[in-house]
Structure 1
Amino acid sequence: MAILLALAGAGTAQAGALQLDPGPLAPTQARQPAFLTAEAQAAAAMTLPPELRAVVVELGFDRGVATLDRVRRLYEYMVSEQGLGLRYREQPTHGLAESYATREVNCLSFTMMFIALARASGIDAYAQASNDALAMRVLEDTVYRAHHVKAGVDIDGVQYTVDVGWRAVVAEEKPRRISDVELVALLHNNNAVERLLAGDLSSAMTETGRMLALDSDNATIWSNAGVVNWRSGRYQPAEQAYLKALQIQDDHLGALSNLVALYRTTGEERLAAQYGKRLKKAQAMDPFSQFLLAEQLVRQGAYGEALGHYRRAIRLLPNQATFHRGMAEAYRQKGDLQAAQRALQRAESIELRKYSQRGIQDADANS
């Protein structure tokens, strides 16, 4: 699960402000040793440790063209108690050896392990990434967004998705395929965010440098680079990183929010207003931005106005239970208890359906 953070802006009426997608150090600090190419780094990260190579022997798959049955058997072996017994834990994001040792994975580490095991079993698997944020929560002054990563397999001309979150292996039309280099860059991306959240700025800087060295064409990586620099008191490198992100993707929410916050902090109100207009336009098409704005309006007691933003968020992303729960609270505060109950029932229905379809248990389920 690749992670986007956003530092919420103080005293503004807009959702968001500084947004982080764990990024590099200052651009001049992000170089890796010349003798290790990006491909070599990715290959090393995707190499099975001895314990997992033994799993391939234990499975005893016939090598050759992938079949859907073999893909399903591998998936079930990874999540069942009779196999690896992997459990879901959002953080930390582990590499292959650590995932095997702890038997704990998130979307990204599960995807890495599935791909490595599948390839060793003669199945041509690869990584897929979602461009859209699939989940969001607020931790103190940080908006925390999650982007989904999963594995793909092509069988008889059909592209299948293998997802840690669901029981079924499903067919999709054209999800976005990413390279091993991009996948491993996302591993460092997650590590950087986790180190930053833990207050370890030195390690966060190291991880963001590794991330940028692997994938310097990713707007989210540059935006996160800016946040790491911002948190380290390095305003100019932060600004450069945000601007680089916007060169790659001119409507990137993280970079726009972070840049507006930076310019307000440094007193450059003209630039803050200029990028603020672009930010507002981008937020109008982002469900989580609409949700955050609705939440802020609820805190201010503007329940009717908040409901409009909840509705827009739900139109953009209908099956996010958090949106419906927020709407239920706004209706309750407004005094429309019948509408509040309907919204709450919708949230509970979405949560129940997602829980029943999970293909892997949470690590804390029995604690």
Structure 2
Amino acid sequence: MYAGRVLRAGIIACLTAGALGCASQGAPPLDLNTLPALQVAQAVPLRAVDAVAKPDAGDLLATTPAMRDFVARYAPDGSSPRHRLLSLHEAVRGAGGLSIRYDPAADGSAAWAFTQGDANCLSFAHLFVALARDAGLEAHYQWLDVRPQWTRVGERLTMRVHVNVMVRMPQGEQFMVDIDPLQPRDVAGSRLLADREAAALHDNNLAMAALAQGDLVAAFGHAVKALQLSADLPLLWVNLGAIYRQTGQLDAVEWSLLQALQRDSSERSAMNNLALLYDKAGRTAERDELLGRIQRHRERNPYFHAWRGDLAGERGDWEEALTHYREALRLQPQDSALLAATGIIHFRLQQYAAAERLLQQAIEGASLLSERSEYAAQLERVRQAGLHSAGLRSAGLHSAGLRQPAGEAPGSTRI
């Protein structure tokens, strides 16, 4: 999962549609002439090179004199890095400081968020990275790949991603700063983001906001700018395809989705959208080939099996839930959240020894103090239930003069 401590600053999370592929090592230059022009109504097709020929928004991490004074006040030189970080975070979060408020539409630079007092997850990350670096701290953007969810109707995939800040101390200690931390069980992976990637995500958010408002020209301009910054992010190509879809340019939609898959052959959003496109176009052979790929990727995804286990648990079928979670653990044996969930299923089945073993493994594998505390509390409840059950069983056997059935281990229960 992800390591480090979490510093809380807000009330709800900021989520962005899409998914990120493998860690990028540096974006190759993008030839804007390769992008299909946007055909808006009866207007002259808008070329990509013309769409981005607008003034740049400036440095997202630039600090103002007021921001530098803020850092000097709350994270002065001479204090330890740890003290500077904690003091700075409290000043940004606390009512006596900036008291940053969450707003999902608040896309802006670090200076903008500092002045406005509103931020979504990405603009909050801009703000804290800028302030922390001004305080001499090693701060990076961090991408959190959120555990995918499938809907019951047609098993449709819902993807979410999230960005926060990772700050590293000289001694190796790590802190995550977030406008609202995700639950550890919801995080499937993480990696650090380059500044250019964070800037690309900023333009991507602006593109999607413009698309929602029906401003296709602005959406296209921001989407192209995002690709200029980081053409290696599959998410950006998927969202460019969404813009082409609004103009009915289905060939351009297909091209964009294939560009995403070239960069990450397992990009789930691209595969699902492309299969839908082929289905509507009557290209059944290509649709079926892609659906086969989706099925194979899904069967290799531990969280798909966990989702199926969750559905079985909602029905009260804990035996089936256990089967699905065992498969999830086979695919991802070190995932502390999966270990803990499987332990709880054993608990539901009154298999206390197995539940204890798995919860102990989850505690040992957890990387956050909050995770370990949660799993330890669950483990204590399991132990108490096991002791209570053993006491009742012992009293019942003694008073009734019965013997335990042969072949059943102490503590086992028939289902």
TM-score range normalised by the length of the shorter chain = 0.5 to 0.7
Equivalence for 1:149: 163
* Residue among 194, 219, 223 paired with 2:238: 223
Q: Deviations over 1:272-313 (max 9, x none)?
A: 111111111122244665577789999xxx999899768867
Equivalence for 2:293: 278
Contact 1:246 1:252 in 2 (8 A): yes
Contact 1:66 1:123 in 2 (8 A): no
Structure number with the bigger relative contact order (C-alpha 8 A, sep ≥ 6) is 1
Q: Structure 1 residues 159, 265: CA separation in 2 closer, same or farther (over 3 Å shift)?
A: farther
1:78 Cα deviation after fit: 0.9
Whether 2:16 is the aligned partner of 1:3: answer yes
Whether 2:65 is the aligned partner of 1:87: answer no
Amino acid at match of 2:100: L
* Residue among 98, 114, 117 paired with 2:131: 117
Q: Deviations over 1:7-52 (max 9, x none)?
A: xxxxxxxxxxxxxxxxx9955544475898xxx86x6121124543
Equivalence for 1:73: 87
Unaligned runs of 5+ in 1: 7-23, 168-173, 325-330, 332-337, 340-352, 358-367
* Residue among 106, 111, 114 paired with 2:120: 106
Contact 2:137 2:169 in 1 (8 A): no
Contact 1:27 1:241 in 2 (8 A): no
Contact 1:93 1:109 in 2 (8 A): yes
Equivalence for 1:180: 195
TM-score scaled to structure 1, two decimals?
Answer: 0.65
SS of 2:59 mapped into structure 1 = helix
SS of 2:167 mapped into structure 1 = strand
* Residue among 133, 146, 151 paired with 1:133: 146
Greater CA radius of gyration, 1 or 2?
2
SS of 1:163 mapped into structure 2 = strand
Amino acid at match of 1:188: D
Q: Structure 1 residues 309, 232: CA separation in 2 closer, same or farther (over 3 Å shift)?
A: farther
Contact 1:92 1:194 in 2 (8 A): no
TM-score scaled to structure 2, two decimals?
Answer: 0.59
SS of 2:159 mapped into structure 1 = strand
Amino acid at match of 2:165: A
SS of 1:176 mapped into structure 2 = strand
Equivalence for 2:221: 206
1:215 Cα deviation after fit: 0.8
Cα RMSD between the aligned structures? 4.9
Amino acid at match of 1:212: L
- Matches for 1:319-358 after TM superposition, within 5 Å: 319=337
**Residues of 2 paired with 1:296 and 1:199: CA distance?**
36
Amino acid at match of 2:164: K
**Residues of 2 paired with 1:177 and 1:232: CA distance?**
35
Unaligned runs of 5+ in 2: 1-13, 20-31, 38-46, 183-188, 350-369, 375-415
Q: Structure 1 residues 158, 296: CA separation in 2 closer, same or farther (over 3 Å shift)?
A: closer
1:242 Cα deviation after fit: 0.8
Contact 2:298 2:304 in 1 (8 A): yes
As a proportion of its length, which structure holds more strand?
Answer: 1
* Residue among 224, 229, 253 paired with 2:268: 253
Contact 1:2 1:186 in 2 (8 A): no
**Residues of 1 paired with 2:84 and 2:150: CA distance?**
37
SS of 2:73 mapped into structure 1 = helix
Q: Percent identity?
A: 25
Q: Structure 1 residues 175, 303: CA separation in 2 closer, same or farther (over 3 Å shift)?
A: closer
**Residues of 2 paired with 1:92 and 1:35: CA distance?**
22
Q: Deviations over 1:162-193 (max 9, x none)?
A: 221359xxxxxx96322211111111222333
